[in-house]
Chains A and B, each alone.
Chain A
Amino acid sequence: MYSYFHSFHSEWLKKRRSAASWLTLIGALLVPIVMLISRYDSGGLAAANRLPHLWENLYARSWQFMAIFLLPMGVVLATSLITQLEFRSNAWKQLCTTPQKLTTIFFAKLSVILVMLLQFFLLFNIGIYLEGVLPALAGGITYPTERIPFMALWRANGWFILDCLPIVALQYLLGLYCKNFLVPLGVGLGLYVASMIATQWRYGYIIPYTYSTLEWLGNRSSLSTSHFHVWAAGYSVAFLVLGYILYITKKEKG
């Protein structure tokens, strides 16, 4: 366990100033910033901040763009970029000759990606909060009167995180296995496009990149929510186990 924490710390340092960490920051704050500008521009902020369902509305509008496009694409890119750090830096061979188990390396790197995903969600939610609060702090506009429905929002965030996990697991598998960055990126883009096409298909849930869109569609989708959540969890575990086996049994380690 001790070596896992050291390994995690080391992996965390590597992503400093990397494209993946910038992507997490910019990707999480992009939608809230655009939405905030749009709120200012459209006027009527004072009235809007007194509406009974202000937070639900802000949340729904922000997630509309995030769930369908930015989240799956961001996860594809960030996961591939993190694993590519080693290939681009010629560092796999150095990493695999450090005194740590390959299992430790596998899970430390995966943990960094998962923590970055949580960081992304946290920043995005802070962004949504600021959408509502910043105009009031800037002055002249009433502070939102509605209390933030924390439990409902956290539950919804939890489902979105689960929806992302199959993408993380598959992109991680591909990123560890393929030296060429275009392979994980190409597969990720391909599956994302396929998931968009398959959204209206009744068996669309079999494509592992569909779930955040289905989450957003909710009752508008022909699938029940719990149904595709089971698929998401199943895919995540299956890709993770497969990725681990492929990584451990790889003939050439670096």
Chain B
Amino acid sequence: MPPTGIPADYLYRMSPFCLETAGLTYRFSRHNIVLDNLDLRVPEGSIYGFLGPNGAGKTTTLRLVLGLLRRQQGRISFFGHPYETSRLATLKKVGSLIESPSIYGQLTAVENLLVWQKIYGCPKDRIATVLEWVGLANTGRKAAGKFSLGMKQRLGIAVALLNDPALLILDEPTNGLDPAGMVEIRALLQQLNHQQGVTILLSSHLLWEMQKLVTYTGIIHQGRLLYQGPLDQLMAKHEGDLETIFIKLTQH
């Protein structure tokens, strides 16, 4: 019990994590457990790489924490507050790109961002800033539906950055990007993290790319976290690169 005079949710408030789950469990059916007691902890200021093979439960976790799937069991808190009681305040501080980008094909890049700018209420000049960051400043009147896969992905990242988030949740953000594009996005994420203190949670299959980017990592396999902690500690404990360690962990 918290001492008298301290709010009941004081444990949440004391949390040093941007995002924290406790005992998060999700079932598609009675015998099909997708997530099993997941205790995810994304430290403030980190770039957290959420790694796992296909079907491990990465996207389900991200969809659950963002409220896109109904929570069945366990707790979710953002910035020290339970998600259920602080949904709107939380979503103001979170930017996300889950799976494929959300693009209105008949609109231009600027118009696509205007759609979200109206809701977030952020300054209009933020649109030009984020488009510059993702390299789409010169797309003019071209409809977003005619963009290449990589350009659509960049626009999706721009949408996620629009509200100047404190926490950025990106599911496979480098999908469809060419090697140069990957380097650019990696540099952008590092810059956001180092200069603006944005915490980043991202999932990806590209382990060599993640090794260059993340400071913290969580490895999930069959709905369970096999490892969670600083990347350098993981690398120090095992031999080989991240890919070798990942395969070793997920095959045991």
Contact = CB atoms under 8 A, between A and B. Distances in A.
Interface of A: 6-7, 9-10, 13-14, 16-18, 85, 88-91, 93-101, 251-254
A13 B120 contact: no
23 contacts: A6-B119, A6-B121, A7-B118, A7-B119, A10-B115, A13-B111, A13-B114, A14-B104, A14-B115, A16-B107, A93-B99, A93-B102, A94-B96, A96-B68, A97-B66, A97-B91, A97-B94, A98-B116, A98-B119, A99-B90, A99-B92, A99-B119, A252-B68
**9 smallest beta-carbon distances between A and B, as pairs:** A94-B102, A91-B102, A10-B118, A99-B91, A99-B92, A17-B106, A253-B68, A99-B88, A9-B118
B242 interface: no
A16 B119 contact: no
A79 to B, nearest CB: 18
B68 A93 contact: yes
B101 interface: yes
Among A6, A13, A95, chain B packs the most CB atoms within 10 A around the CB of A13
A14 B103 CA distance: 10
Interface residues of B, number: 34
B205 interface: no
Interface string B61-105: 001001111100000000000000001111110101011111111
A97 B118 contact: no
A90 B119 contact: no
Contact of A89 (B63, B67, B89, B103): B103
Contacts of A96: 67-68
A13 B66 contact: no
Contacts of B118: 6-7, 9-10, 13
Contacts of A17: 106-107, 143
A98 B89 CA distance: 10
A252 B66 CA distance: 11
Given A90-B99, A98-B119, 17 more contacts: A10-B115, A10-B116, A13-B111, A13-B114, A13-B115, A14-B104, A89-B102, A90-B101, A93-B99, A94-B96, A94-B98, A95-B102, A97-B91, A99-B87, A99-B92, A101-B88, A252-B69
Contacts of A7: 118-119
A222 to B, nearest CB: 45
Contacts of B63: 93
A18 B106 contact: yes
B159 interface: yes
Interface in B210-244: none
Contacts of B103: 89-91
B120 to A, nearest CB: 7
Contact of B104 (A9, A89, A101): A89
B48 to A, nearest CB: 18
Contacts of B107: 13-14, 16-17
B88 A253 contact: no
